[in-house]
Chain A
């Protein structure tokens, strides 16, 4: 990744080199201080530029723990930072777009789990086009298994080929190769990173029994919200055929109409989010099997 620094006006690389070289003979202490001050200022400003309209997505990867432990797993934290008003797509059933992919290159014996996705938001465009997207930032978690025989003290590099489609008023595809070096140790030296803990807290969890009173009524599947909360249903690609998720998938109570497919309706698969009065959002995984239609249950 390129690094652009804010440098003092009039700064020229050649002049700096000769200046440092010349001063080294005459005033080493002053030079050392100057160089230290200069490097300090330069490094402070020498971070990657933020995402912008020309380069709308920046990707970094980190880990939950500073070190990997043989025989255990470590979590990769893929962070996608987006420029203002741009969005990335979720893996939910979308009418358009393309969700980011990570193709991880692993050393022998290492294993990688799937990507874990936080809840997205519904994004409705002209023409009844419904997508599920992220704005500003997307953080994905991915567990990686460290082999039990991985040598302690070694450092292992993992590289991911990342591909995405970012959209604002138009769409721009992007690709990047992102690497991370993981030192291997006998045990973790500190707690997991704040970034991984925060990302984990946002991940959807299975819908607890009884919450939202999920149930079938004929060809409709109901989620009943509590007072003041707003529910959203975001189907996954393997969800049954919904009649009109744009209308049915958002509101204080949801009555999702399903089209019969043969003698069944459903399954109901996706995420349900609950936006409380105060604005906090909880996300749950909904997974209910297809229902066999009896003659008297159709059309309800």
Chain B
């Protein structure tokens, strides 16, 4: 009994340490499952998309962040990247983890952004930040590409220009999607994301 208690305590400490050490979702790891509702109230369950054999792109989103405006308003990077693969079993989900009262938060603001940015994919509301923290999403945008087996195959920036106004030459998400949809391997599977900090609550 005492031995069992020690093992349990050890396991608990190991689990706590792993979390405290700040392990990131690295390419090759299983994507944490989630269920979130979008701005129209529809539920999105990651596992359901994966079970249907779909590739899922996650984009951390904050409609008022200048870097989101760069890719959604000044240019249509996200819309165009998705449009190019939309008919190839790819799902694109924007996730907003802004806490209530912080920049870009609230159903109304995001419903408006959906129209303003002419988005061709939904915005999922993650006000408590649970999903954002599970993925350790740092910035808006912060991009993840998950293959149909539920494995993260890309984690990082949308492109290679970290400026709030200038567009990059290399669209990493486009490259990752092209690779996996043609049965290949993602060569650049991790980059440093850039953008505004995700506006998590306490």
Chain A residues positioned under 8 Å from B200 (CB to CB): 125-127, 129
Given A173-B165, A243-B21: A98 and B194 within 8 A (CB)?
A: yes
Nearest Cβ in chain B — how far from A201, in angstroms? 30
Instruction: Report the nearest B residue to A127, measured CB to CB.
Output: B200
Given A169-B103, A173-B164, A237-B192: A96 and B138 within 8 A (CB)?
A: yes
Question: Which A residues between 97 and 130 are near B, CB-CB below 8 angstroms?
Answer: 97-98, 101, 125-129
Instruction: Give Cα A101 to B136, complex, Å.
Output: 28
Among candidates A172, A237, A243, residue contacting B66 with C-beta atoms closer than 8 Å: A172
Asked if residues B164 and A169 are in contact (CB atoms below 8 Å), the reply is no
Asked if residues B138 and A244 are in contact (CB atoms below 8 Å), the reply is no
Instruction: Give Cα A243 to B26, complex, Å.
Output: 13
Nearest Cβ in chain A — how far from B23, in angstroms? 9
Asked if residues B139 and A98 are in contact (CB atoms below 8 Å), the reply is no
Among candidates A128, A169, A172, residue contacting B22 with C-beta atoms closer than 8 Å: A128
Instruction: Give Cα A165 to B196, complex, Å.
Output: 9
Asked if residues B198 and A127 are in contact (CB atoms below 8 Å), the reply is yes
Nearest Cβ in chain B — how far from A133, in angstroms? 11
Instruction: Give Cα A243 to B19, complex, Å.
Output: 12
Q: Mark A12-41, 1 if CB is under 8 A from B, else 0.
A: 000000000000000000000000000000
Nearest Cβ in chain A — how far from B126, in angstroms? 12
Say if the beta carbon of A171 comes within 8 Å of chain B. yes
Say if the beta carbon of B163 comes within 8 Å of chain A. yes
Asked if residues B22 and A243 are in contact (CB atoms below 8 Å), the reply is yes
Instruction: Give Cα A128 to B194, complex, Å.
Output: 15
Instruction: Give Cα A129 to B132, complex, Å.
Output: 12
Question: Which A residues between 172 and 196 are near B, CB-CB below 8 angstroms?
Answer: 172-173, 175
Instruction: Report the nearest B residue to A246, measured CB to CB.
Output: B22
Instruction: Give Cα A243 to B137, complex, Å.
Output: 17
Say if the beta carbon of A84 comes within 8 Å of chain B. no
Q: Mark B1-44, 1 if CB is under 8 A from A, else 0.
A: 00000000000000000001110000000000000000000000
Among candidates B65, B139, B162, B201, residue contacting A126 with C-beta atoms closer than 8 Å: B201
Instruction: Report the nearest A residue to B102, measured CB to CB.
Output: A169
Instruction: Report the nearest A residue to B101, measured CB to CB.
Output: A169
Instruction: Give Cα A145 to B64, complex, Å.
Output: 41
Say if the beta carbon of B197 comes within 8 Å of chain A. yes
Asked if residues B196 and A171 are in contact (CB atoms below 8 Å), the reply is yes
Say if the beta carbon of B129 comes within 8 Å of chain A. yes
Question: Which B residues between 40 and 96 are near A, CB-CB below 8 angstroms?
Answer: 64-66
Nearest Cβ in chain A — how far from B67, in angstroms? 8
Chain A residues positioned under 8 Å from B133 (CB to CB): 127
Given A101-B163, A128-B136: A96 and B66 within 8 A (CB)?
A: no
Nearest Cβ in chain B — how far from A55, in angstroms? 16
Say if the beta carbon of B122 comes within 8 Å of chain A. no
Say if the beta carbon of A263 comes within 8 Å of chain B. no
Say if the beta carbon of A287 comes within 8 Å of chain B. no
Chain A residues positioned under 8 Å from B102 (CB to CB): 169
Say if the beta carbon of A131 comes within 8 Å of chain B. yes
Instruction: Report the nearest A residue to B21, measured CB to CB.
Output: A244
Asked if residues B164 and A126 are in contact (CB atoms below 8 Å), the reply is no
Instruction: Give Cα A246 to B139, complex, Å.
Output: 17
Asked if residues B22 and A96 are in contact (CB atoms below 8 Å), the reply is no
Nearest Cβ in chain B — how far from A241, in angstroms? 10
Asked if residues A98 and B103 are in contact (CB atoms below 8 Å), the reply is no
Nearest Cβ in chain A — how far from B121, in angstroms? 23
Chain B residues positioned under 8 Å from A173 (CB to CB): 66, 164-165
Instruction: Report the nearest B residue to A129, measured CB to CB.
Output: B197
Instruction: Report the nearest B residue to A172, measured CB to CB.
Output: B66
Instruction: Report the nearest B residue to A164, measured CB to CB.
Output: B164
Q: Mark A77-98, 1 if CB is under 8 A from B, else 0.
A: 0000000000000000101111
Asked if residues B138 and A129 are in contact (CB atoms below 8 Å), the reply is yes
Say if the beta carbon of A212 comes within 8 Å of chain B. no
Say if the beta carbon of B156 comes within 8 Å of chain A. no
Say if the beta carbon of B150 comes within 8 Å of chain A. no
Chain A residues positioned under 8 Å from B195 (CB to CB): 96
Say if the beta carbon of A167 comes within 8 Å of chain B. yes
In order of increasing CB-CB distance, the 4 nearest A-B pairs are A127-B200, A96-B197, A173-B164, A126-B200
15 interchain pairs, CB-CB under 8 A: A96-B138, A96-B139, A101-B163, A127-B97, A127-B132, A127-B137, A128-B22, A167-B197, A169-B102, A171-B66, A171-B196, A172-B66, A175-B165, A237-B192, A244-B21
Known pairs A163-B163, A246-B22 / 14 extra A-B pairs, C-beta < 8 Å: A96-B139, A96-B197, A96-B198, A97-B197, A98-B194, A127-B197, A128-B22, A128-B136, A169-B103, A170-B103, A170-B196, A171-B196, A243-B21, A244-B21
